[in-house]
Amino acid sequence: MTLLKAIIMGIVQGVAEFLPISSSGHLALFKHILGINLESGMLFDVLLHVGTLAAVFIAFFADIKNLVIEGFGIIGDFFVNLFNAVANLFRKDKKPLKKVVRTPYRRFVMLIIVSTIPTGIVGLLLKDITESAGNTLIIPGICFVLTAIELLVAENWRPKNHGRTTEKNAKYREALIVGTAQGIATFPGLSRSGTTITAGIVCGFEKNFAVRYSFIMSIPAILGALVLELKDIGESSVSSTELAYFGVGAVVAGVVGYFAIKLMLETVRKKKYRYFAYYCFVIGLIAIFWNLFSIK
C-alpha cells in the first residue's frame, strides 16, 4: 500500500459512500485495478468507512445530538420507572409509570436499536464470507447488478400508504426488515445505502426519512465493525507506515465524504434512481466479464 493508493481509495470511498452505488464494491474493484492486496483483513475498509462516518456526524449533527439526548432520557426514565415499580409494591398510593417512548426522536432511537440487532447478527454470520467475497470480481459484479435491480424497485415502488411513514409512526417490524437488509448489504457491490433505502421505501418510509434513516443507522453498524477489527489488529501484519497510510485514506474519505453529502444528498433524495441503476448494471457487467476473461 502506497500513500497515493491510500488517497485514491479514500476519494473513492468518500464519493461512493453517499450514492447508492456501493462503496464496498468500488473499493473491491479499485483494489484489483490498483493491485492492492492487503493482509490486514477488512481493517482498511473499516477505517475508510469510519472516515465517512465522521462526515455523517457533521452533516446530521442536529439529528444525532437529539438522538443522543433522547437516548439518555430513555435510560433515565427506564430506571425511574424501575425504581417506582419496586417502590409501588410497598406503597398504598402508587405512582404512575412514565411513558418512556413519548417523542418522535425517542421512537427514532428505539427504531435504530431494533435495526442494529439483525444487522449485527447477520453481519457476524456472514463476516468470513463477505471478507473473501472481494477477492475476485465475480461476486461484486453480481452484487452490482442486484443493486441496480434494487434501485429500479425503489424507483417504481408505490406503497399502499404512499410513503408517509416517518419516525413518528414507523413500526418496529419495519425497523427489523431494514436492519436485516443492512446486514446482508455487507457484500461488496451490494450498496448499503441503496439496499436500506429500498427496504425502507418498500416498507412505506417517506423518501427523505428513508435517506436519513439509512445514513444514521449506519453509525452503530460501522462502530461495531471497527471494534471487531481493532480486536484483531494485533494479529494482523500491519506496519506502522501502512497504518499511517490507512489513517490518511480515512481522513481523505471523511473530507471528500462531507462535501459529497452537501453536493449529492439532495440529488439522491430528489432525482431518479434509475440513472444509478444503469451505472451499477454497467459496472457489474464490466466486473463480471473482467473476472471471466482476464488473463490470470
Question: Which residue is listed with cell 453480481?
Answer: 142
Element (H, E) at 224: helix 218-231
- Is there a domain that residue 20 lies in? yes
Measured distance CA(193)–CA(218) in Å, rounded? 9
- Is there a domain that residue 193 lies in? yes
Per residue of the chain (296 residues), give pLDDT as tens: 789 988 999 999 898 888 888 887 888 788 878 887 766 556 787 788 889 889 989 989 999 999 999 999 999 999 999 999 999 988 888 888 989 999 999 999 999 999 999 999 998 898 888 878 767 788 889 999 999 999 898 888 876 666 688 899 999 999 999 999 999 998 888 998 889 999 998 999 988 888 889 989 989 888 887 777 666 555 556 678 888 888 999 999 999 999 888 877 676 666 677 888 999 999 999 988 888 876 44
Measured distance CA(78)–CA(119) in Å, rounded? 25
64 close to 267: Cβ distance less than 8 angstroms: no
Structural domain harbouring 196: 3-86+99-293
- Is there a domain that residue 179 lies in? yes
- Is there a domain that residue 94 lies in? no
CB atoms within 10 A of CB 231: 9
| Beta bridge pairs of residue 205 | 165
Measured distance CA(98)–CA(91) in Å, rounded? 17
The sign of the torsion formed by the CA atoms of 63, 67, 68, 69 equals positive
- Is there a domain that residue 93 lies in? no
Contacts of 92 (CB under 8 A, 6+ apart): none
Output the pLDDT for position 137. 82
Which amino acid, residue 121? I
- Is there a domain that residue 117 lies in? yes
Q: How many CA atoms lie within 13 A of 155 on its CB side?
A: 16
- Is there a domain that residue 92 lies in? no
pTM: 0.84
Q: How many domains does the chain have?
A: 1
The sign of the torsion formed by the CA atoms of 184, 190, 196, 199 equals negative
- Is there a domain that residue 223 lies in? yes
